[in-house]
Chains A and B, each alone.
Chain A
Amino acid sequence: MRSIRDQACIVGVGHTEYSNESGRSEMRLACEAIGAAIDDAGLQRDCIDGIVKYTYDNNDPVLIAKNLGIPRLRFFSEVAYGGGGGPVGTILLAAMAVTTGQARAVVVFRAMNERSGHGTRRYGQASTGRAAVGTSSYHAPYGLFTPAQMVALAAHRHMHLYGTTSTDFAEIAVAVRAHANRNPEAYMYGRPMSLDDHQNSRMIATPLRLFDCCLETDGAAAVVITTPERARHLPHPPVFIAAGGMGAGPWNDRAMIKDIESAETEATVIAEHVFKDAGVERKDIDVLFLYDHFTPLVLMALEEYGFCGRGMGKDFIKDGCLRWPNGALPLNTSGGNLSEGYIHGMQNNIEAVRQLRGHSHCQVEGARHVFVAAGNGIATTAMILRREY
């Protein structure tokens, strides 16, 4: 066996509500989402024998297993780089585990009280430490603390090199907000956003405005992965992991200050093989899930994964191609990190599965292939999922 192509399936998904104050522990959030995903898969707790976490997640898999009544863990692992490694990297590890027989059914999850700060520090705030260490020692003394501020640097250079404007960034925010407004479970449901709303939102760090930045959220999301043989006996049509990959290079050494002129990037490393491995072309992708931590990074992901040329993102999206229902490549159809909830990207996997099951509130008719990318600007991961038919 030389490839994970179609050797593993997503068979269950689950999540908690997405809020700014969950009122309960991160362990309870994790167990609620994981329990819901196992139930959705139609499995018993003792069928699960693997757990993969984000390195950033505070919950210990052994304690999760204890709380959920999972008697025997045969596979446990974790993926670094936060929203870059976690959302897809966890699923790829799970796929490799079930493909090689190291486990039979693996659950991956992300659970955090990131907005209320009860357990996890808000990523949009500066650490209160009086000293800065490591890479931060070259940034924090100058007042450069947050991902938003770091992404602002790359976004501004993108504007300079390619003529991208803030209204191009707005197109992404407005598109996913419209999708969130069809999803009653989205945090921003019932709160529409116009281009003017975006342009009038307060400046955070030029050129990034508030509505260029993702939400901060309390909540949890989880996904169950198993083999195709087992998947065929479960209630939902299996969603096949067609291909996936991890990508990074020496250009990722500067926290989230992206070097946009590097010919190779975390995304190009993956793009080089993932479509070939899955045996599909970009034009075969029906729904796009790009990690929308910050709108400029969505443009850069479109470019570096090869959906358009480098610097051409603004032209690619200007006719509304990211907007459901008429766009050719609807983006983050449940609202994404920007408007559904920021569960560090894991929530996008759930919507990808909904699309391939045919249950989305923004259903793309006959969706067969979806592309899912985790957070870029840092070491990242991406995959292609497909529906069997």
Chain B
Amino acid sequence: MESDCFPYPIAAEGAEPFWSACNRCELKMQRCADCGDYRWMPDEFCPQCGSLAADWALLSGRGHVTTWTVVTHPVHSAAISRVPYIVAEVEMEEQRGLRMISNLVEVAPESVVFNQRVSVTFQSHPSGQKLPVFRPLVE
């Protein structure tokens, strides 16, 4: 069936706090309650120390672009009206290697640069779920 929007996320098991925080315009990630290591994506055990104890820590929402692609060929019906759009990997400032996938918004594809500083903002998906996306940081 043709869809006019990208799929909405169904929270993976244990990831509900991430998505509900997004709906309050907060970017939260799991942080090990024992060793303090942040992790993305959400999971059961801390990959650093093996602890099961984790909190949902509020992030600053700031980070930098480690790589990106400008999608020009639509492979989804909702992409036809959206190409070109930017899918980026953003490393959060809280921890080296703490990288998530998102869109870059409010920036032209040809203006993006490596290590560009960005900050989170939230866009509503038609399903009602808010998605964290990133825009150039105004310092």
Contact = CB atoms under 8 A, between A and B. Distances in A.
A206 B70 contact: yes
B1 A202 contact: no
Given A131-B7, A143-B82, A143-B103, A137 B71 contact: no
A95 interface: no
Interface in B1-34: 1-3, 6-12, 15
Contact of A156 (B67, B78, B101, B103): B67
A132 interface: yes
Nearest to B7: A132
A205 B73 contact: yes
Contacts of A208: 69
Given A137-B11, A149-B87, A205-B70, A144 B101 contact: yes
B12 A133 contact: yes
B53 interface: no
Nearest to A140: B7
Interface string B44-78: 00010000000000000000001111111101111
Interface stretch (A10-18, A105-113, A122-130, A225-233): A122-130
Classify chain B's interface size: 35 or more
A139 interface: yes
Interface in A139-155: 139-146, 149, 152-154
Contact of B68 (A124, A125, A153): A153
Interface string B94-112: 0000001111000001000
Interface residues of A, number: 42
A133 B41 CA distance: 13
B6 A141 contact: yes
Contacts, number: 117
Most A CB contacts (10 A, CB to CB) among B1, B66, B89, B125 go to B89
Nearest to A132: B7
B75 A125 contact: yes
A132 to B, nearest CB: 4
A203 B72 contact: yes
B76 A204 contact: no
Contact of B47 (A130, A138, A250): A250
A133 B69 CA distance: 22
A117 to B, nearest CB: 13
A283 interface: no
A215 to B, nearest CB: 16
B122 interface: no
B114 A137 contact: no
A254 B97 CA distance: 13
A260 B103 CA distance: 21
Contacts of B131: 141-142
A145 B89 contact: no
A132 B15 CA distance: 13
A124 B76 CA distance: 10
B67 A142 contact: no
12 contacts: A125-B76, A128-B3, A132-B8, A135-B41, A137-B9, A138-B41, A142-B103, A149-B87, A153-B87, A156-B67, A156-B68, A206-B69
Instruction: Name the 5 nearest CB pairs between A and B, nearest first.
Output: A152-B69, A126-B76, A157-B67, A137-B9, A132-B7
Interface of A: 124-146, 149, 152-154, 156-157, 160, 202-208, 210, 250, 253-254, 257
